[in-house]
């Protein structure tokens, strides 16, 4: 990685830090010279930059005092030292959602570091390895340098009915293909990686439960994003090329967007000191469960994005002169109700955190899944209501070029007038923002990513099924119904109700 001034402080410094890297990024079949200057990529970089600026502007919200370095560090690099710390992740996420209207791409890294904290600790405990110490060294360094950590998890998977070693092509899951005394060489590909090109480091992790024969796939390690052997193929987003058009209206949100790419590893190298799992296959599922537990509740960010969309819908209703019509108001109430339901379930999950052996705090599993499951549903409903309020013009609006044209511009200014005092340009801008968030670039983040990120709906249902403690509930019912049975219900291992009835969730 190219050396730049460290620690990075502001969004601007962050953007500068991305220049001149050795990245191999393809977009529309061509190698991108400098991602920072590419009009399609730049909005996603701006979104990450906002995470730096917020840490300056609202220090207590977006940074934290780290007991690892003793310094105040960006909260995305912080290891949660209390339930309150976990809650504050959510609050920061909502704020950034509000400020960018999109995915700011840093939660995977945050959630990966936190879940590795406890998992490496317990791996060492069992195997006498040194992963936890290595991880702490790494965290110390990144907290100090204030860099961006991406996490690469989802393998391309090939035939989904088959495991890693059963695939025709062993590269369908990332794995170790070689090793020497300095480290390991990995090959494979990770699909739809969020913000990887905008990161400085990438943590690779397995994404499925592994068995003994999958040992080579049980690799967790950290690698600079521009290491030799890594290729990025940029994903297309709905309406992505509008970012290459002149003007800034038709983009809707011209400044911010998300980013997803496919990352291909071809014998990429991870040095020993950056390896945090190497063959301990039985810990893969622990790591994944803890990561997804954090990550499913990280989707509280979407409530911040939801705030923007509710605001946009309220604005267009206002422009059209109908903000107090009862069915409009009722829809805004429903949008708010749904949005806050997501927020409430997320906050409750963070609040019901508990301390792990390693000292990090882990949020509640059941409520994290419930939160994410609501996220797979409610943004679609909120988006639908926004389209309802916006009216059909949202999808039939002429282009900005028309608005600027001497022939058609005056026609639009005449005929797109709304209630008195409303500027037609502003009306068009708000409509484009709603289009952007429900069909365009940021619909990718607000809708489809809400569906599939951190696990598709079915993944949450499977996890809820595992921990819903039916035995405990059946006993409640049988007691009230006066059912007496010889073989009494056994309580399952799940401990959700222990957390529910815990007397002080801020205590260990």
> Mask: binding to its own copies, 432-471, rule CB under 8 A, as x and -?
xx-x---xx--xx--xxx-xxx--xxx--x--xx--x-x-
List the interface residues with its own copies, window 74-103 (CB under 8 A).
84, 87-88, 91, 94-95, 98-101
Q: How far apart are CA 91 and CA 97, in angstroms?
A: 10
For the segment 108-167, give every residue that binds its own copies (CB under 8 A): 154, 156, 158-161
Please state the closest distance from residue 226 (CB atom) to its own copies, in A. Answer: 17
> 3-state DSSP call for residue 268?
strand
When asked if residue 208 is in the footprint of its own copies (CB under 8 A), the reply is no
Nearer to its own copies, 275 or 428 (CB): 428
Nearest-angstrom CA–CA distance, 150 and 101: 20
Residues 117, 200, 295, 373: which is the catalytic one?
295
Token representation of residue 7: 């620690």
**C-alpha–C-alpha distance, residues 73 and 149, integer Å:** 14
DSSP three-state, residue 188: strand
Determine if 56 is a binding residue for its own copies (CB under 8 A): no
Q: Residue 493 and residue 508: Cα distance in Å, rounded?
A: 20
DSSP letters of 114-170?
A: HHHHHHHHHHHHHH---HHHHHHHHHHHHHHHT--EEEE--B--SSTTS-GGGSSSG
Among 3, 482, 493, 508, binds its own copies (CB under 8 A): 482
Q: Which residue from 12, 330, 488, 490 is in contact with its own copies, where contact means CB under 8 A?
A: 330
Do residues 354 and 347 touch, judged by C-beta distance below 8 A? no
Among 329, 355, 359, 495, binds its own copies (CB under 8 A): 329
Concerning whether 212 is annotated as a catalytic residue, the answer is no
Of 175, 219, 307, 382, the residue at the interface with its own copies (CB under 8 A) is 307
> CB of residue 127 vs its own copies: minimum separation in angstroms?
32
Catalytic hit among 131, 232, 281, 299: 299
426 part of the interface to its own copies, by CB under 8 A: yes
DSSP state of 470: H
- Catalytic residue status for 449: yes
Out of 7, 9, 10, 26, the only residue in the binding site for its own copies (CB under 8 A) is 26
Q: How many residues does the chain have?
A: 508
H or E element that contains 194: strand 183-194
Active site annotation includes 260: yes
* Residue 299 annotated to the active site: yes
Strands (E), 319-467: 354-355, 361-362
360 binds its own copies, rule: CB under 8 A: no
**Stretches 10-18, 44-52, 216-224, 226-234: which one binds its own copies (CB under 8 A)?**
226-234
Q: Work out how close the CB of 335 gets to its own copies at its nearest, in angstroms, rounded to a whole number.
A: 9
> Is 194 an annotated catalytic residue?
yes
Pairwise CA distance, residues 190 & 176, whole Å: 14
Structure tokens at 74: 């960006």
Identify whether 145 is a catalytic site residue. no
Question: What amino acid positions are annotated as catalytic residues?
Answer: 103, 107, 194, 260, 295, 299, 301, 449
């Amino acid at each position: 990685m190219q050396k730049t001034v460290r620690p990075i402080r502001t969004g601007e410094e962050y953007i500068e830090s991305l220049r001149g890297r050795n990245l191999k990024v393809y977009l529309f079949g061509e190698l991108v010279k400098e991602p920072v200057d590419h009009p399609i990529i730049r909005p996603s970089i701006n979104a990450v930059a906002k995470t730096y600026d917020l840490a300056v502007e609202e220090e207590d919200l977006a940074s934290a005092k780290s007991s690892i370095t003793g310094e105040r560090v960006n909260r995305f690099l912080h290891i949660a030292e209390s339930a309150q710390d976990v809650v504050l992740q959510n609050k920061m996420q909502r704020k950034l959602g509000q400020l960018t209207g999109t995915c700011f791409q840093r939660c995977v890294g945050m959630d990966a570091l936190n879940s590795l904290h406890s998992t490496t600790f317990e791996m060492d405990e069992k195997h006498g390895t040194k992963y936890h110490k290595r991880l702490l060294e790494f965290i110390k360094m990144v907290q100090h340098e204030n860099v961006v950590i991406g996490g690469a998890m989802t393998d391309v998977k090939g035939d989904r009915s088959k495991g890693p070693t059963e695939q025709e092509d062993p590269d369908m899951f990332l794995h170790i293909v070689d090793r020497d005394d300095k480290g390991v060489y990995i090959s494979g590909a990770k699909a739809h990686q969020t913000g990887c090109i905008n990161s400085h480091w990438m943590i690779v992790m397995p994404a499925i439960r592994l068995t003994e024969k999958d040992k080579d796939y049980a690799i967790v390690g950290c690698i600079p994003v521009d290491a030799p052997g890594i290729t990025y193929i940029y994903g297309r987003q709905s309406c992505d090329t509008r970012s290459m058009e002149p003007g800034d209206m038709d983009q809707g949100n011209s400044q911010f967007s998300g980013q997803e790419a496919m990352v291909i590893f071809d014998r990429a190298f991870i040095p020993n000191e950056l390896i945090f799992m190497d063959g301990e296959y039985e810990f893969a599922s622990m790591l994944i469960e803890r990561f997804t537990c954090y990550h499913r509740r990280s989707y509280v960010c979407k409530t911040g994005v939801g705030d923007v969309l509710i605001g946009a819908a309220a604005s267009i209703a206002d422009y059209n002169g109908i903000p107090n019509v009862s069915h409009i108001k009722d829809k805004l109430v429903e949008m708010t109700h749904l949005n806050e339901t997501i927020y409430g379930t997320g906050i409750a999950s963070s609040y019901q955190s508990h301390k792990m052996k390693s000292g990090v705090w882990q949020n509640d599993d059941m409520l994290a899944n419930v939160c994410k499951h609501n996220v797979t549903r409610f943004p679609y409903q909120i988006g639908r209501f926004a389209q309802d309020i916006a009216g059909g013009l949202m999808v039939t609006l002429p282009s900005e070029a028309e608005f600027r044209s001497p022939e058609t511009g005056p026609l639009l200014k005449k005929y797109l007038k709304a209630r008195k005092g409303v500027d037609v340009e502003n009306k068009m801008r708000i409509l484009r923002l709603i289009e952007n968030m429900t069909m365009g670039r940021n619909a990718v983040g607000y809708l489809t990513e809400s569906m599939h990120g951190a696990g598709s709906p079915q993944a949450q249902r499977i996890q809820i099924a595992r921990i819903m403690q039916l035995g405990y509930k059946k006993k409640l019912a049988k007691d009230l119904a006066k059912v007496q049975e010889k073989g009494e219900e056994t309580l399952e291992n799940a401990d959700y109700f222990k957390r529910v009835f815990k007397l002080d969730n801020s205590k260990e």
